[in-house]
């Protein structure tokens, strides 16, 4: 870099880091993303399920997801550039939420009504008509195959479904990050790969820049932590973790692939599906496969990781069986292969599974962390939100006492960025779970 001094250093070049670079560069700021990996989007973003949905348990989470949907829907227009590798695409399937007795979706529906998000309530007969592959028994609560009650045929049935059309998935998550990289570079952003930040330097009570593993020092008055599952290590490096009421940890997670039933019709059956009744979610995958993951029911153990560079990256038989066998209860014709196939990676999880988009106790050091495996879809708006936050704070606004707000472009709602504060109490309205 020579003597060039970026206005903002962004640690990480996953979907969140790349989106921040794009939005900040559009404002004319010189940004530099630094990533220890060789390519943008090849960390946890590259292994995301890339589900686009509005089914969140909080108003703020739903509002950001709904606003972001329009950026994904109009991806080319948002980027303003082409990419030599092509552009990621939204597979606009809609989302089916299985409704069961005792499940209270009233809060979700109230939020959707307030935001004007369309949805359809399907009774049991409509669910059978729209999704004929699905078994309609209620298996609540979710269990693992070693539970003696796992194979019992329940007497209860689900009550129907909730269909939300503003949903789907992105066909190539890695490509979407490359798209953002190219869009940011077109505005003047720079990216450096295979470089590890080993120190956050400070001077006169604020951040002064970073030091790389090779000893190079890069000065900047603003540093943003967008390091994904490594975020807690960067926060400790900056000395800001003790100030935070809400912290982050790395959680190991598995998603799996199974062949689709031979009668599976992508146009008819290929929804993104959320099914609390069996504790899982699923969506279509290229190659006539179905991707499925856990919604973290209480029966599934959680494996917290102390070192994000050292964890078991192999699919385990126990979790593969739990997720695949549960889905097979909902889809009886699901082929079950002999060999497990899936992806293992880490979520950057906060104490309440709601992200932290905030300043810190160190002036000039900001955090876009704790995305908890579900913020991929919100990256376009998060980029704008973080840029607005940095702009306001660097001009002297005390965000802790006077939270920054931002009006969205497509939906026209005003977001209170203080909702994502590091100083908040644990939000008991959170679902404390993930859906890709």
Q: How is 333-366 classified by DSSP, letter by letter?
A: T----SS--EEEEEEEEETTS--EEE--SSBTEE
What's the average model confidence in pLDDT over 68-88? 98
Q: Is the dihedral of CA 41, 376, 134, 278 positive or negative?
A: positive
Confidence check: pLDDT of 3 > 60: no
Tabulate helix, strand, coil % of the chain (nearest 5). Answer: 30, 25, 45
Question: Which of 3-12, 35-44, 71-80, 311-320 comes out lowest in average pLDDT?
Answer: 3-12
Nearest to 327 by CA among 252, 259, 251, 253: 259
pLDDT of residue 433: 61
Question: Which pair of tokens denotes residue 408?
Answer: 């969205």
DSSP 133: T
Confidence check: pLDDT of 11 > 90: yes
What's the average model confidence in pLDDT over 20-24? 98
3-state class of 285 per DSSP? strand
Residue 434 pLDDT level (bands cut at 50, 70, 90): low
Q: Where are the beta strands (DSSP E) in 234-325?
A: 248-259, 272-275, 280-285, 289-294, 303-305
Question: Which pair of tokens denotes residue 360?
Answer: 């810190």
Can you tell me the distance from the alpha carbon of 221 to that of 207, in angstroms, rounded to the nearest whole number? Answer: 6
Q: By percentage, how much of the chain surpasses pLDDT 70?
A: 98
What's the average model confidence in pLDDT over 352-369? 97
Tens digit of each residue's pLDDT (9 = 90 or more) over 258-294: 999 999 988 788 999 999 999 999 999 999 999 999 9
pLDDT of residue 2: 43
Tens digit of each residue's pLDDT (9 = 90 or more) over 194-225: 999 999 999 999 999 999 999 999 999 999 99
Can you tell me the distance from the alpha carbon of 207 to that of 394, in angstroms, rounded to the nearest whole number? Answer: 12
pLDDT of residue 118: 98
What's the average model confidence in pLDDT over 236-240? 98
Question: Which pair of tokens denotes residue 355?
Answer: 């992200």
pLDDT of residue 373: 86
What's the average model confidence in pLDDT over 18-42? 97
pLDDT of residue 1: 41
Confidence check: pLDDT of 362 > 70: yes
Residue 429's CB is within 10 A of a number of other CB atoms, namely 13
Global model pTM greater than 0.95: yes
Long-range CB pairs of 234-242 (<8 Å, 24+ gap) are 234/11, 234/197, 234/200, 235/360, 235/367, 235/369, 237/197, 237/198, 237/199, 237/200, 238/200, 238/207, 238/360, 238/362, 238/365, 239/200, 239/202, 239/362, 240/360, 240/361, 240/362, 240/365, 240/367
Tens digit of each residue's pLDDT (9 = 90 or more) over 141-192: 999 999 999 999 899 999 999 999 999 999 999 999 999 999 999 999 999 9
Nearest to 314 by CA among 349, 345, 278, 335: 345
Nearest to 375 by CA among 192, 226, 163: 226
pLDDT of residue 102: 79
- In degrees and rounded to multiples of 5, residue 186 shows phi and psi of -65, -20
CB 186 within 8 A of CB 80: yes
Secondary element (H or E) of residue 186: helix 173-186
pLDDT of residue 101: 85
Tally the residues of the chain.
436
């Amino acid at each position: 870099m020579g003597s060039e001094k970026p206005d903002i250093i962004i640690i990480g070049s996953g979907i969140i880091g790349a989106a921040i670079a794009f939005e900040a560069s559009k404002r004319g700021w010189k940004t530099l993303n630094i990533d220890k990996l060789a390519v943008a989007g090849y960390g946890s973003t590259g292994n995301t399920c890339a589900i686009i949905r509005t089914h969140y348990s909080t108003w703020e989470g739903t509002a950001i997801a709904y606003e972001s949907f329009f950026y994904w829907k109009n991806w080319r227009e948002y980027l303003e550039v082409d990419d030599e590798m092509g552009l990621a695409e939204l597979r606009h399937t809609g989302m089916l939420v299985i409704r069961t007795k005792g499940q209270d979706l009233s809060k979700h529906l109230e939020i959707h009504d307030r935001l004007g998000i369309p949805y359809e309530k399907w009774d049991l007969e409509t669910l059978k008509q729209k999704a004929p592959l699905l078994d309609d028994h209620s298996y609540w609560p979710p269990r693992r195959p070693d539970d003696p009650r796992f194979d019992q045929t329940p007497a209860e049935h689900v009550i129907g479904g909730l269909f939300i059309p503003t949903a789907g998935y992105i066909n190539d998550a890695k490509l979407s990050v490359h798209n953002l990289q190219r869009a940011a570079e077109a505005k003047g952003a720079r990216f450096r790969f295979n470089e590890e930040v080993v120190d956050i330097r400070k001077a006169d009570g604020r951040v002064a820049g970073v030091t790389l593993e090779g000893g190079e020092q890069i000065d900047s008055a603003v540093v943003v932590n967008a390091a994904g599952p490594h975020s807690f290590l960067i926060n400790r490096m900056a000395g800001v973790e003790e100030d935070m009421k809400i912290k982050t940890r790395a959680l190991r997670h598995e998603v799996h692939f199974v062949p689709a039933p031979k009668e599976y019709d992508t146009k008819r059956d290929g929804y993104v599906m959320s099914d609390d009744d069996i504790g899982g979610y699923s969506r279509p995958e290229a190659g006539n496969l179905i991707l499925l993951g856990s919604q973290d029911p209480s029966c599934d153990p959680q494996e917290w990781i102390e070192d994000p560079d050292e964890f078991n990256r192999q699919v385990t038989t126990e979790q593969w069986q739990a997720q695949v066998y549960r889905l097979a209860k909902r889809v009886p014709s699901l082929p079950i292969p002999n060999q497990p196939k899936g992806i293992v990676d880490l979520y950057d999880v906060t104490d309440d599974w709601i992200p932290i988009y905030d300043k810190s106790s160190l002036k000039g050091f900001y955090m876009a962390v704790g995305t908890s495996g579900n913020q991929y879809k919100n990256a376009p708006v998060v980029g704008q939100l973080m840029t607005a936050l940095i702009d306001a704070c660097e001009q002297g606004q005390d965000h802790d006492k006077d939270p920054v707000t931002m009006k969205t472009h497509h939906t026209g709602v005003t977001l209170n960025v203080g909702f994502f504060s590091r100083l908040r109490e644990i939000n008991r309205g959170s679902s404390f779970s993930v859906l890709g």
